[in-house]
Amino acid sequence: MECHLSIASPSLYLDFSWEVVTDLHGSGHFPICIQSYTTAPPVTNGTWKLSKADWTTFSSKASSDLVQNYSNDLEDPIEHFTDILTNIANSTIPKSKLRSKKRDPVWLNDECMNSICSRRKATRKVKTCPTSAMSCCWLQTTRG
């Protein structure tokens, strides 16, 4: 067996569990399972709807606000610039709705999806043309 490493920051030690999975899943390597103790779903911030933006207002606000709020004694001028520009964009460019991303289960791979599609297709065929030949086909498809 080869040696494999997982590298992480010590500050993450209490946030995750780490273990070697004994099932090789057909591979020559023992899989490593890293799990988070927190279960917060990932959230998207929405995307800008650039085609619906009010570019005239955006341009005029950018021209006035960026000049007005500029100072030479800023600690982080880039962060300040970014904050002003983001605020202008938030007021003039609509965003899509916020949605949490639903993740597919780990076991739902391409092979599984193809099997589900084949089973659904066979079920539709049996419902539209319920013959004994179709029923046999359906049974073979559903039994894998």
- Residue 117: its pLDDT value, please? 84
- Residue 116: its pLDDT value, please? 81
Three-state secondary structure readout of 54-114: CHHHHHHHHHHHHHHCCCCCCCCHHHHHHHHHHHHHHHHCCECCCCECCCCCCCCCHHHHH
Average pLDDT over the chain, rounded to an integer: 78
The first and second tokens of residue 88, run together, are 């202008």
**Spatial distance between the Cα atoms of 93 and 120, rounded to a whole number of angstroms:** 42
Please answer whether residues 33 and 19 qualify as being in contact, where contact means their C-beta atoms are separated by less than 8 angstroms.
yes
- Residue 42: its pLDDT value, please? 60
The pLDDT tens digits for 83-127 are: 888 999 999 999 887 766 666 676 777 887 888 888 888 888 878
The pLDDT tens digits for 30-50 are: 788 888 877 666 656 778 899
More confident residue, 20 or 55: 55
Q: Taking the CB of residue 89, how many other CB atoms lie within 10 A of it?
A: 16
- Residue 58: its pLDDT value, please? 92
- Residue 73: its pLDDT value, please? 74
Average pLDDT of span 51-60: 93
Question: CA-based Rg of the chain, rounded to a whole angstrom?
Answer: 27
- Residue 55 — pLDDT band, cuts 50, 70, 90? very high
- Residue 21: its pLDDT value, please? 81
All structural domains of the chain with their residue ranges: 50-92, 108-144
- Kind and range of the H or E element at 47? none
- Residue 33: its pLDDT value, please? 81
